[in-house]
Amino acid sequence: ALSFFRKAIKDNNTPSKVVIDKSGSNKSALDALNSELDQDHKIQIFQNKYLNNRVEQDHRFIKKRIKPMLGFKSFYSANITITGIENIRIIQKEQLIGAKKQVSTFENFAKLMAA
């Protein structure tokens, strides 16, 4: 967990807040990182068993589509496929600007592609 957080911080800068579940390894890794940081840059830790469930639930549909594929051969193909699945989910959940509830998902998609 510590090496994961170090790599994430190296690639994306130090976060001000982190939400984790009740995992002890994540908590201890963040505590170790906080001991290395000065007081002004400490990471605020929110630890709650169900706080990140909404984010995790949204991944279900991606996992359902990807599991039969048995993985990807390259990062590029994974990126394109997951982006497409995410775009379709956005249209289905009517989070797309200009999407109409009276119209089918396909018609909203066709309008998006025509624009």
| Residue 51 sits in the same domain as residue 12 | yes
| Residue 6 sits in the same domain as residue 52 | yes
| Residue 41 sits in the same domain as residue 14 | yes
| Residue 36 sits in the same domain as residue 77 | no
Number of domains in the chain: 2
- How high is the pLDDT of residue 13? 87
Residue 107 has pLDDT above 90, yes or no: no
Q: What is the mean pLDDT of residues 67-86?
A: 84
Q: What is the mean pLDDT of residues 79-101?
A: 79
Domain housing 15? 2-56
For 19, residues 6+ apart whose C-beta sits below 8 A from its C-beta are 46, 47, 48, 51, 52
- How high is the pLDDT of residue 24? 85
pTM: 0.47
| Residue 93 sits in the same domain as residue 51 | no
Model confidence over 19-76: pLDDT tens digits? 888 878 889 999 999 998 888 889 998 887 766 666 566 667 777 778 777 778 888 9
| Residue 6 sits in the same domain as residue 44 | yes
| Residue 49 sits in the same domain as residue 77 | no
